[in-house]
């Protein structure tokens, strides 16, 4: 390919003999690097998606070649312009590939700093208008490259909560799509318009707006910050387990999504990440560590994001995570999925008799929330049953189920005596509460952004920044008190405390208790199915129905002037 390209280029650039040897070498080297980079980049698709070791050296080589290519075209731009005919969109393509590499490196490592690097390359493409000339060329495939670049850039901006940039990009993408469909009568017009609709719905998924004094929207981040998780008191006896791996699974019908992220998955992945640092302070290039070096302690647990997986895909990733889980570590499984209910009565009450949550059948034949099978003698096949997770309870397991059939997982049995906790969403919400399920589950919102969820159930849809920050401070105090309630409880199951040493899990547990206590005090949450549950059960009087905590919740409601939404009589004996 390179030789052919060279002959073409050299002949178009004048007589071959006229070209100085040094310039010819520059073009040859550039073509070699370009070919090599494409070859390595395409090879990334063939790497296994699971397992954390096999891909690192390959990624390292790919990064290396792209770094050389990027520097090479910067140093020799004039020669490449004159002799190779290098176009600006081709430079944009290289930058876009580097952006993609950083984004995929983030997906593989869960290290949020790589998102900043992807953002800087994607931003450069836009600022330097690398793709601006594409529209003048009569090549629809080039325009599609530009549209895909926009879609990828939007995903990175969403993950970095750069909502103002997202809005600008959506407007630009909309104009580009209009121009593209006007110029080329293509069949993918509907698909691109769907991309626009999806991202518009994604941006508007938050039920509450926080406003500055000039009515601009405040962007709030829900990643773990320095002050995020309640600190452990001196002498608090908790386990030393660390969250090392998480599977985040999204399989809800009709939930807002963009790319392959549902809004629930998007919220949960941020609850398992720290605020990004800038990579400039870190010396190593991605994947460039020598195998002899010990990698620095990973700041964030590793994650797999699985959108609508089949049972076999889910089980494969689960087994890979289980196999690679280090000693003294926890595996978290988050399931946001449509409920699958058992049909017919079963005489036994085993781990396959209560249904579970939906796995993808590869056929979109499923409508509605309850899936009933035809033959009542058999169990539901496209379903993750509680029993399916039993083999993995040989290691510490922390499960979160957000589903209309979450209670199926209440019938767990701890077979191996390892730490095991399941946090289970309500199976139904009060009719009086405006249905928000398309815009994400209320339970997951409580685990990701408890104040926003509290405002939503209190009937508030916007709030001034000053009041928001005051409430956030008060909520931190509530979290500290919940942490004390859990660690001082005499009858709490030890599993909860064994997970309590990990910051991420500690925050999830305290938010779970806050969510449960709020719903139990709320006037319209009156049925037991409106409340979250857990396995093992928490001692209610010491946690979710503790009068001290109830008093705090009423205080928070008073700050917001929504005390009338909550029951007061739960405090009669306080």
| Average pLDDT, 10 consecutive residues per value, the chain (574 residues) | 49 59 91 94 87 80 94 92 90 95 92 92 94 84 93 95 93 92 82 92 91 88 79 73 96 90 95 74 40 49 95 94 94 96 75 89 52 62 94 97 95 92 96 81 96 95 94 95 92 94 94 97 93 96 94 96 87 44
Please work out, in degrees rounded to the nearest 5, the angle formed at the alpha carbon of residue 155 by the alpha carbons of 154 and 161: 85
Helix (H, G, I), strand (E, B) or coil at 230: coil
> Is it true that 17-208 and 242-277+299-342+350-361+379-565 share their CATH fold?
no
Q: Which CATH code is given to the segment(s) 242-277+299-342+350-361+379-565?
A: 3.40.50
User: What pLDDT is stored for residue 19 in this prediction?
Assistant: 78
Helix (H, G, I), strand (E, B) or coil at 348: coil
How many C-alpha atoms does 431 have within 13 Å on its Cβ side?
0
- Within 301-388, residue ranges assigned H as helices are 311-324
Helix (H, G, I), strand (E, B) or coil at 422: strand
Residue with tokens 């999504």: 257
How many C-alpha atoms does 481 have within 13 Å on its Cβ side?
19
CA dist., res. 52 & res. 59, Å (int): 12
Strand order, beta sheet including 397-402: 302-307, 242-251, 329-337, 397-402, 420-424, 533-535
Closest residue by Cα to residue 152 from 62, 92, 206, 207: 92
Radius of gyration of the chain (CA): 27
Please work out, in degrees rounded to the nearest 5, the angle formed at the alpha carbon of residue 106 by the alpha carbons of 105 and 112: 145
User: What pLDDT is stored for residue 573 in this prediction?
Assistant: 41
CA dist., res. 246 & res. 261, Å (int): 15
CA dist., res. 382 & res. 443, Å (int): 24
pTM score, whole prediction = 0.90
Cis peptide before 536 (omega within 30 of 0): yes
**Is residue 485 within 8 Å of residue 497, measured between CB atoms?**
no
Phi/psi for 248 (5° steps) reads -110, 115
CA 571 to chain centre: 39
User: What pLDDT is stored for residue 281 in this prediction?
Assistant: 39
Residue with tokens 């949550």: 357
Closest residue by Cα to residue 314 from 376, 389, 263, 257: 389
Residue with tokens 């104009």: 175
CA dist., res. 98 & res. 93, Å (int): 9
CA 65 to chain centre: 29
CA dist., res. 440 & res. 461, Å (int): 16
Tokens standing for 439? Answer: 């815009």
Instruction: Please state, rounded to an integer, the average pLDDT across all residues of the chain.
Output: 87
DSSP assignment of 136-187 equals GSS-HHHHHHHHHHHHHHHHHHHHTT-HHHHHHHHHHHHHHHHHHHHHS--S
CA dist., res. 395 & res. 383, Å (int): 23
- Cα dihedral sign, 28-29-33-34: negative
**Is residue 97 within 8 Å of residue 41, measured between CB atoms?**
yes
Helix (H, G, I), strand (E, B) or coil at 559: helix
Closest residue by Cα to residue 84 from 92, 73, 75, 95: 73
The conformation of residue 402, written as its DSSP 8-state character, comes to E
Q: Which CATH code is given to the segment(s) 17-208?
A: 1.25.40
- What are the residue boundaries of the structural domains of the chain, listed by start? 17-208, 242-277+299-342+350-361+379-565
């Amino acid at each position: 390919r390179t030789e052919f390209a060279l002959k073409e280029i050299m002949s178009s650039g004048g007589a071959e003999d006229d070209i100085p040897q040094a310039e010819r070498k520059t073009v040859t080297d550039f073509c070699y690097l370009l070919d090599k980079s494409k070859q390595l980049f395409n090879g990334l698709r063939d790497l296994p998606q699971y397992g954390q070791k096999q891909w690192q050296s390959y990624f390292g080589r790919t990064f290396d070649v792209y770094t050389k290519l990027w520097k090479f075209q910067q140093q020799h731009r004039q020669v490449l312009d004159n002799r190779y005919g290098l176009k600006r969109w081709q430079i944009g393509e290289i930058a876009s590939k580097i952006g993609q590499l950083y984004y995929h490196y983030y997906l593989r490592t869960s290290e949020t700093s790589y998102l900043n690097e992807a953002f800087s390359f994607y931003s450069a493409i836009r600022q330097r208008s690398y793709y601006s000339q594409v529209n003048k060329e009569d090549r629809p495939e080039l325009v599609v490259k530009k549209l895909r670049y926009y879609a990828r850039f939007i995903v990175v901006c969403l993950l970095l909560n750069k909502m103002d940039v997202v809005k600008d990009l959506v407007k630009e993408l909309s104009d580009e799509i209009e121009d593209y469909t006007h110029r080329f009568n293509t069949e993918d017009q509907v698909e691109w318009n769907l991309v626009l609709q999806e991202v518009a719905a994604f941006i508007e998924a938050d039920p509450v707006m926080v406003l500055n004094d000039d009515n601009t929207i405040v962007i709030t981040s829900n990643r773990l910050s320095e002050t995020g998780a309640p600190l452990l008191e001196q002498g608090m006896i908790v386990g030393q387990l660390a969250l090392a791996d998480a599977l985040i699974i999204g399989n809800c019908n009709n939930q807002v999504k963009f790319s392959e992220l549902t809004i629930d998955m998007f919220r949960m992945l941020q609850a398992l990440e720290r605020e990004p640092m800038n990579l400039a302070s870190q010396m190593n290039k991605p994947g460039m560590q020598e195998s002899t070096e010990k990698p620095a302690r990973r700041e964030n647990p590793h994650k797999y994001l699985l959108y609508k997986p089949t049972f076999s895909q889910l089980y494969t990733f689960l087994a890979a995570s289980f196999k690679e889980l280090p000693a003294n570590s926890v595996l978290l499984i988050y399931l946001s999925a449509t409920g699958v209910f058992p049909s017919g009565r079963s005489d036994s009450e085993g781990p396959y008799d209560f249904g579970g949550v939906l796995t993808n059948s590869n056929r979109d034949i499923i409508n509605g929330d309850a899936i009933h099978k035809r033959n009542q003698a058999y169990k539901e096949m496209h379903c993750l049953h509680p029993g399916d997770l039993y083999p993995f309870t040989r290691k510490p397991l922390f499960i979160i189920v957000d589903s209309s059939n979450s209670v199926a997982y209440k019938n767990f049995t701890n077979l191996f005596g390892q730490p095991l906790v399941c946090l289970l969403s309500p199976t139904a919400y009060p009719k009086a509460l405006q249905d928000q399920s398309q815009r994400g589950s209320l339970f997951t919102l409580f685990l990701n952004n408890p104040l926003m969820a509290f405002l939503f159930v209190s009937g508030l849809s916007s709030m001034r920044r000053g009041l928001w920050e005051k409430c956030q401070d008060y909520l931190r105090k509530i979290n500290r008190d919940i942490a004390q309630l859990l660690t001082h409880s005499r009858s709490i199951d030890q599993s909860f405390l064994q997970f309590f040493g990990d910051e991420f899990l500690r925050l999830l547990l305290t938010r779970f208790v806050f969510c449960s206590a709020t719903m139990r005090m709320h006037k319209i949450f009156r049925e037991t199915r409106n409340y979250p549950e857990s396995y093992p059960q928490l001692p209610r009087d010491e946690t979710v129905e503790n009068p001290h905590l109830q008093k705090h919740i009423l205080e928070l409601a008073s700050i917001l002037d929504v005390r009338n939404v909550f029951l007061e009589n739960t405090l009669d004996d306080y």
